[in-house]
Amino acid sequence: MLNRTLDDRYTILERIGGGGMADVYRAHDKLLDRSVAVKVLRSQFTDDEEFISRFRREAQAAAKLSHPNIVNIYDVGFDEQAYYIIMEYISGETLKDKIDREAPLPVETAVLIAMEIAEALEHAHQNNLVHCDIKPHNILITRSGRVKVTDFGIARAVTSSTMTNSGTIIGSVHYFSPEQAKGTSVGAKSDIYSLGVVLYEMLTGQVPFIGESPISIALKHIQEEPKSPRELNASIPPLIEAIVVKAMHKDPVARFDDIGEMIADFKLAQNYLRDDHTRRLSPTDFPTQILPTVTAPSQQDDSKHIVPSNTPASLLREARLSKAWLLGIALLLLVSAVVAFLGFGKFWSLNEVTVPDVVGKQVDTARNIITSNNLRVSVSEAFNDKVPAGQVISQQPEAGTTVKEQRTITIIVSKGGEVTVVPDLRGLSRRDAELQIKNSGLKLGRVDEQFADAAPADTVISQNPRPPAQVTKGTMIDIVISKGSSPKKVALPDFQGSLLTTVATQLESLRLKQGKITETPNDKYPPGTIISQNPPPATEVTEGTTIDFSVAKGVPGAVKRAIVQVTVPDGSGRQALQIVVTDTNGRRVAYEGTHKPGERIEKTVEGTGQVRVQVYINEKLLQEQTI
């Protein structure tokens, strides 16, 4: 399926999982330019109407569900004998991966995960849908920690009158309920039981029942009580253990009335939780599968294998057919051995010849050499990119071996390098393009980058060879990756004379960056004032260019100058103006005079060290500044 495009839209990139009925792949949706998950029904079931119906039912069942804890269904289709469902792609891991890595999980974490699963099931149950296959493998955890329930492949409507399947049961043996094991009617409480098993495994690091076969495990679900979770993990609070025990009660009536009641108990228990970080690995689980209906035997014996009392007649017929097949295979092997012995040559002949060396020769030449030595020849072909097409790659028996006349010599003739079609990589991300190249048996060649206004950054804009060229496997494919839109050019403003603290906003608006800052002693500019820049003003630069600045630094003992501007306020008659300077030399009057209202006065003052300038009108302070 790799590199195949379904309905000219979904290009399959890599296999990411699978189950009993279908395989799951990551694909690229060319129309919406996004990654999706594609579930494809396995080829052996495409002619089975029951499986096709179940597969379609999954799409119909899950499509009507919309919940943040349920994987979204986007599309469903059929393309060249491939039935598929397009789903939301979840970048993360399964709960089973997390359990295998970290179990037993902290109690608080386990309850939080179980609550999100329960909320997803509550939504499904409200829509009259039972999942029927709740297990850690069908629970996805995103990189942000959100829980997503997936795989409604064997989901059934709650309103169905029966949940049996012609004497068989479907599910994951470690997690399904006693009523599923018996093949009797199941409902929402079956999902509650399975969720209890999942919580049991998260808390203890192991499933409640293990056995030598799926049937033996199914019987334990019906007959035996699991070991107390607190015996396996003493840190589990009694209230949490009570939730697990109630959810896993063998009588559905004794379980929670509905999933909402279980959620309420989870919320109550969260007030009493404490963390614990012990770890334990869990055993391997059997996959989702179809099993014969299990009925508890009336008498127990010491035999290792338990056979269900109501094994379907179909299985007995299969057993008889299996014996017939074994007999047929044995007869076929015997005939093959006789044919091979007769084809070995004239075993009754006493004449022997030496096998000639034909490796590297053209097939016609090799055939003539072999037959001229009174031997027979059998030709097989194989791809080989190191041996030219039509030449012999190898032979059996090898050259120099002594054999009887008419012995068959098998030669393998090169078909040249295997040919493949160059995939269309344009528009794919670099990672997806490299994966396509690898899956096609090709190799990544030179990778160039260039600006492209019409293509998003890190996507392929061109390639060589171009599709749909046919090349031999191992050929190098060169690609050009977009660097995004070309950066714009701007004319550099003159920042000289501005305070460094005031240019940051202007640089950001121009998409420029502040570079190296150099302080230079200067008595002509106040400290912190830009006195030069690099590149210089009016230079055309591209967005993202770094601008370096030289900033004035105060000189000890240097004379500082400042211009004082004063507007005489409104009043009656002329007003007395006084400018006072305070510096290292003391306090002094730098200017004194009378002026009429509204008159503007501008005076230059100077001082050394820290200079304070005060302006008085009629002996009242009007303004003050420090230079």
The one catalytic residue in 23, 33, 133, 494 is 133
Dihedral of the alpha carbons of 210, 215, 218, 222, in degrees to the nearest 10: -120
E-strand stretches of 262-391:
289-292, 352-354, 376-382
496 pLDDT above the threshold of 80: yes
Inter-residue contact 69 to 169 (CB < 8 Å): no
Residue-wise pLDDT tens digits, 178-214: 988 887 778 899 999 999 999 999 999 999 998 887 8
pLDDT band at 281 (very low <50, low <70, confident <90, very high): very low
Quick one: tokens of 107?
A: 């109690």
| Residues pairing with 354 in the sheet | 402
Residue predicted with more confidence, 478 or 171? 478
Residue-wise pLDDT tens digits, 612-624: 999 999 999 999 9
Query: Within 10 A of 192 (CB to CB), how many other CB atoms are there?
Result: 26
What whole-number percentage of the chain has pLDDT above 90? Answer: 38
Average pLDDT of span 301-317: 37
pLDDT band at 160 (very low <50, low <70, confident <90, very high): very low
Quick one: tokens of 140?
A: 């996805």
What whole-number percentage of the chain has pLDDT above 70? Answer: 83
pLDDT of residue 171: 55
Task: Report the interhelical angle of 188-204 vs 238-247 (nearest 10°).
Answer: 140
| Residues pairing with 576 in the sheet | 594
pLDDT of residue 581: 93
Average pLDDT of span 303-308: 36
Would you say 415 is a known binding-site residue?
no
CA distances from 191 to 180, 195, 259, 348 (A): 10, 6, 9, 72
| Residues pairing with 521 in the sheet | 553
Three-state DSSP at 516 gives strand
Helices (H), 64-177: 95-102, 107-126
Residue-wise pLDDT tens digits, 535-575: 999 999 988 899 999 998 877 667 788 889 999 998 878 99
Helices (H), 406-540: 430-439, 504-509
Average pLDDT of span 452-464: 90
Most confident of 127-136, 161-170, 241-250, 428-437: 241-250
The answer for 454, left when phi > 0, alpha when psi is -120 to 50, beta otherwise, is alpha
Tell me, yes or no, if 133 is annotated catalytic.
Answer: yes
Which residue, 382, 449, 175, 367, is CA-closest to 287? 175
Quick one: tokens of 112?
A: 């939080």
Domain annotation for the chain: domains and CATH numbers? 5-88 (3.30.200.20), 92-292 (1.10.510.10), 419-482 (3.30.10.20), 489-553 (3.30.10.20), 559-626 (2.60.40.2560)
Residue 227 CB partners (closer than 8 Å, separation 6+): 208
Three-state DSSP at 385 gives coil
pLDDT of residue 301: 41
pLDDT of residue 329: 65
Alpha-carbon span 345 to 404, nearest angstrom: 6
Lowest average pLDDT, out of 293-307, 506-520, 527-541, goes to 293-307
Average pLDDT of span 320-336: 60
258 pLDDT above the threshold of 90: yes
Residue predicted with more confidence, 272 or 120? 120
Which residue, 220, 201, 200, is CA-closest to 209? 220
**Placement of tokens 């493998």 in the chain:** 137
Sheet holding 612-617, edge to edge: 586-595, 575-583, 612-617, 620-626
Query: Within 10 A of 624 (CB to CB), how many other CB atoms are there?
Result: 11
pLDDT band at 501 (very low <50, low <70, confident <90, very high): confident
Average pLDDT of span 86-110: 90
303 pLDDT above the threshold of 60: no
pTM of the model: 0.47
300 pLDDT above the threshold of 50: no
Residue-wise pLDDT tens digits, 564-614: 999 999 887 899 999 999 988 889 999 999 999 999 999 999 888 788 999
Lowest average pLDDT, out of 34-48, 103-117, 345-359, 453-467, goes to 345-359
